[in-house]
Every structure is written in structure tokens, then in C-alpha cells.
Amino acid sequence: MRLLPSLTGPQDLRQLSLDDLQELAGEIRTAICDQVSRSGGHLAPNLGVVELSIALHYVFDFSHDRLVFDVGHQCYPHKLLTGRLPLLQHLRTRRGMSGFPEPDESPFDLFRVGHAGTGISTAVGLARGDTLNAEAYDPADNPAGRRIVAFIGDASIANGVAMEGLNNAGTLNRQFLIVLNDNGMSISKPQGALAQYFDRVRISHLYSDFKRSAKQLLRHVPGGSLIKDAYHRAGEATKAVINDGNRESGWFEHFGLMTVGPIDGHDLPTLIEFLTEARDIARPMVLHVKTIKGKGFPFSEKDSSRFHSPSPFKIHLTEDEEDCKVELKSGGRSFTTAFADALTDLMTRDPKAVACTAAMPEGTGLDKVMPRFPDRTWDTGICESHALDMMAGLAKTGFKPFLAVYATFFQRAFDQAFQEAALQGLPVRLCLDRAGLVGGDGAVHHGFCDTALLRTLPGAAITAAMDEPSLVAALEFMRGYEAGLSAVRYPRDTVSDRFSGEACLPFELGRARCLTPRFESLTDRPVAAVLAFGTPAIAAMEAADRLGEEYPVAVYDARFAKPVDQALIRRLLQNQIPIITVEDHSIIGGFGSAVLEAAQELGLDASRVVRLGLPDSWILQDSRAQQLAEVGLDAAGIALAIRRAAEAPRPAASDTMVDSAAPAFPATGPTTAI
């Protein structure tokens, strides 16, 4: 590797020859693959945009011009081209490079971007702002002004927010370039009519003719007419695809956007020539670029879904490079796998159960369910809002819909959860993978506010799983819950086997489960009680083990954040037993807040309720274990909170236990309805 280490920024890139740029592309691919094989990260999407990233930085000056990413996981080459090679060795950790655009790392990153569909809209805002500030590029009046590029890919063009951005981009009266990285893939195979349209464009014989003749065009067409000729040819290709004699029927044309391409996204001379002309066109424009996701390595090209964001892996070379074996590191049985198996069993038993995901079949485990139930499972593409509304429609027709979605992406569908599900009293079931802290993906992907959002919805039942048996039990509870929307949250982590030898009680609405049998009736008084929502219950048990008999503590798997177990809260507080609530969620509006609210509603003194959760600050990328330790949600942090709560002065009162013989789960259940 001779070129990449010498790059301090894009200004060095522009001093290289075309042959050097080709060599640089290979060095970037090797550097990314080597690092991701050690740390995990987004591999295939970055391998596919190496030449495109080089060409963009070669043609534009993004220390002055504006580059906005849509689906930020395709930013690794951009980061290496902007002088961040030293950070690569600590990829996705606090010491190194974030896996997404990060303004704190570099002025070349304008937004933290982790969700799909946002790039065009934010770029439109930049374009309007630069125009109002008299800083926009204008070929006549301000040739030194700022240009705008929105870089969108991985099928997020089909996202509803992207549609809204396109609708406004066409009204701009200035330079505005949308580079569409069309790799024929989302995280998985893209879904929907729009994806099928792009497939037809790619296989059109006119597109193939245009691609083959690109280099000849560059050599023989007089300067200034390359885009014009390509615009005509792209229009002809589109006309052949949609069987319409009007070139303006091209899809982007309806938004008022000049459209050129598709062009070969791995042909550097072609990319540089087209971008050089597109740079100076004073109207909104789409450059449609065809790339290969996973480009450069046979294993990632053949299976770009599996290598979209792999865990660390090892490549076993064979004599035939095409048949090399790649072994992904396994960290144990994951909640995602456990969910897939549980849902498969549930759907086998209940023909009314249906499921869908929004572009995340592998990430949510639904890819293992879909082959078994092809008529009752769907992937909607990157369309969370549509997916939830579709599930509401299925619920209205008597089915039992389960929507498998990352907790962070559920935020996109909260309006639909409110209006089309909860408001209608429809039993849509949310399966929130990657809830809480997510590790290396960092702040853009933490699922830290789902509980707070869902708690506002009347009739909602919000659960969390602490291990695989409780996840199975939660899904079974949700299958039978018809009073409104329900949800179960679980992390991106391995399942604990601590309670695998014990029977898992069924979920009963608003009732916790005691994990420390000696304190079930409270005849043996604990120094404190931990009410843990989800997997923090396992860490709380580890904390109890550490404290031993010096600080005997009762630990409960809370199970529900709505409704909380008010009978349990009453018994603990009436007996002046400190309560420590623990959750892998924002401390604002989460489970701990629900416990405080319940105490207030019951007229109880809540001064000895201590809440542990995610602080009111952004938690950056690192391992999930390190993030939990940082915010005091590991066993050590919980043990410290227990000691402090137990040692705090308590009000003078009788040592007689109140209702000490009452069962852990009173027959009356919660004292208030949800």
C-alpha cells in the first residue's frame, strides 16, 4: 500500500494520475476489507462505492461544496479520502472511526446519518440556505459559489422521505446534483414497483448499448455535449423500458429533474467526465450510477446481503480464489435468532399470524421465517411507515400481524402506530430488535426512546425480554393480546442461559416475575429491590451475586413498562424497601418514569426510588459491553447503586412488614387500567 497512507485529504487525490486512481481504489478496498474482517462493520455497501467516492472528491471540492450522504453506511471510502486512515484501525470504537458520517471527526461530514431517505431533503435545505446567503454556485453571477451533491444509495430512493425530498428538489432554480448509487440491492434484495422499474432500466438493451459506448463518447463527442447526449440516450432507454413514446415519462422527470444514466459506477474515466460536466449544470439533476454491491471480492459480490454488515470474519484461501471460504465469527445464540425460531413456531401454530419487515429480513431474523410462510410474510423495502399501516390493515381483516423492526427505525412509524393502530384499537404487534444500546453503530442506531413513545398510546402493552424463554413467552402473550397495540423489545446481544433450567411463567398483563425466590413473599426482608426491564435483569442478578449476604437484594423481571406492576410497587414502598429501576432505555420517559408515576398515583412516598437508565446525552460508538459499563448498567454499576440505596437513611417507621404474606402476583392484578 503506497498511495492511501500518503493522502492527507482530497487535495492530494487531485494530483494523482488516472492509473494511480485505479491503484488507489484497490488499496481502499483492501484496507476496508482487512479492517472489517477484524472489527465487523459495513463491508459490501462500501466496497461498491469506491470509484464513485474517488470521482466525487476528484471533481468537487467538498471543503467548500456540500456533500450529504443518504444511508451513511456507504461512507468508509469517503472517510479514507478525507484523511482518516489512522482512525480506521479502531473502526466503530470511541478511539477510532465511526461507521457513519460524524461531524466531530471531520468538517467533510455535515450530518450524522444513520437512517434512510434523509439526504435529499437536508441537501435541499442546504441549497436554499446557500442561495439566501448569496453563497450558491451560479455559472454567471457566482462561479466560485458552493455546489450541492446528495449521495443516495442502497434502495433508499424508495423511502417516503426521499420522495418528499425529490418533490421539492425539482423546484430549485440552481445547481443541485443527486447521485443515485443503484446497486440493485438494499440491505437485502429491494422490494416494490420502483425497484422493479430500476431493474428493467438496467436490463434495457439501450442501456447496455449506452454503457458499451461510454468511452467512445468521451473520446469523440465535443466538450460540453456529453451530458446532453447521455440525457437523450437515457431517455431512449427509459422509453424502451416503459413502452411510452414520450421521453419525459422517465420517472425522475416527473419531479422536474434532468436525469442521466445509468452509467458504469466502476469506470473512473466515465465517472470523472460525467461529474465534471454535471458539476456546472445550473439545474436540478440526477446522475444514475450502476454499481456492484460488494465489488472487489468474490465472496462479498456473491452474497452482498450476508456481507452487508458482517461480524468479524476469517477468509480461508483456496487454490481457486472464486471458491474461497469465509467464516463469520459467532458470539453465541442471538436474540434475533431466538426471535426467528419463536416466530416460526408461533406462525406454525396460528394460521392467522402474519409478519413483515422493512428491508431488514436478515437483520431481524425474518429471512428464516419467510421460506416457511411465503404467503404470510413480506418485506416492504425501506418503508417503515407503510409497513406499519399495512399491518394495521391486516389487523382490521382479522389477522395477527407482527412487525419486525429495529427499535431505532420504528421511530419512522410512530405516527402510524398512533393513528392507524392504537387510535383504532387494532392489535398490531411490534417486535423491536436492537433495543437499547447497539454497540459499534453508535448514536445513530441506539433504540433509546421506543418505550417513552409507546407509553403515550392508550391501550398499549409494552414488554421486554430478558432471555430466550421470556421472549417466547412475550410473543405468545402478544399473540393473544387483542386490546390494542403491543410491543416486545430485545437487544442486539446474545441470550443468557442463566434461567434456562427453570420454568418461565407466562406473561400476565402488568405483572412482574420474582427472580429471587427467597424474597417472593417478603417474609425475608431485602435491603433493596431491583425492578429490571428486559436484559438488565440478568445484570441485576450478577450484581446480587456480587453483593451476597452483605446486601441481600430482591430482583424482579419487570416484564411490563405499561402497565407496570402497581401491586408490587405498593408492597415494596409501603415496607420502605428501596426500589432501583434498571432499563436499557432513556431515563426520560421510560420504565423508571412509569414506576415513579405509579407511586404518585398510589399516593406513596417515591423518595427511595432510584432510576438507572441511559443519560440525557449521546452515547458514541463502542462495544455494547463498554457502553453499558459507561452508563452504569453493567453488574458493577447496578451493584454500586444497590449499595448506595441500601445505605441511604430511611424514614423512621415500624419494622413490621405490611402484607408480608401476600403472594408475589396478587389475584387482582394492576390497580389501574391502561
C-alpha distances out from residue 374 to 313, 347, 379, 400, Å: 31, 12, 11, 16
Helix (H) or strand (E) segment spanning residue 11 = helix 10-13
Angstrom distance (rounded) from CA 150 to CA 152: 6
- DSSP calls for 369-411: TTTT-TTSEEE--S-HHHHHHHHHHHHHTT-EEEEEEEHHHHG
Instruction: Answer for the pair 454, 485: CB distance below 8 angstroms, yes or no.
Output: yes
Residue 334's DSSP bridge partners are 494
Angstrom distance (rounded) from CA 530 to CA 448: 20
Residue type, 578: P
Name the strands in the sheet holding 284-290, side by side, starting at the edge strand that comes first in the sequence. Answer: 66-69, 148-153, 176-182, 284-290, 258-264
Spell out the long-range contacts of 207-212 with Cβ–Cβ below 8 A and sequence spacing 24 or more: 207/234, 207/237, 207/262, 209/233, 210/234, 210/237, 210/263, 211/262, 211/263, 211/264, 211/290
Catalytic residue among 412, 434, 562, 570: 412
Q: Name 112's Cβ contacts closer than 8 Å, sequence gap at least 6.
A: 72, 100, 101, 102, 103, 443, 444
Residue found under cell 419494622: 655
Which sign, positive or negative, has the C-alpha torsion 285, 291, 294, 295?
negative
Three-state DSSP state, 237: helix
For 145, the grid coordinates are 459559489
Angstrom distance (rounded) from CA 70 to CA 62: 16
Angstrom distance (rounded) from CA 596 to CA 607: 9
Catalytic residue among 84, 233, 293, 295: 293
C-alpha distances out from residue 497 to 145, 269, 326, Å: 60, 56, 29
Catalytic residue among 277, 384, 420, 583: 384
293 carries an active-site annotation: yes
For 418, the grid coordinates are 398512533
412 carries an active-site annotation: yes
489 carries an active-site annotation: no
Angstrom distance (rounded) from CA 428 to CA 391: 6
HEC letters along 128-152: HHHHHCCCECECCCECCCECEEEEE
Angstrom distance (rounded) from CA 549 to CA 646: 13
Half-sphere exposure of 324 (CA within 13 A, CB side): 15
Of 127, 129, 185, the residue nearest 156 (C-alpha): 185
Residue 406's DSSP bridge partners are 433
Residue 557's DSSP bridge partners are 513, 532
C-alpha dihedral, 40 to 41 to 45 to 47, nearest 10° = -60
Q: Which residues are catalytic?
A: 293, 384, 412
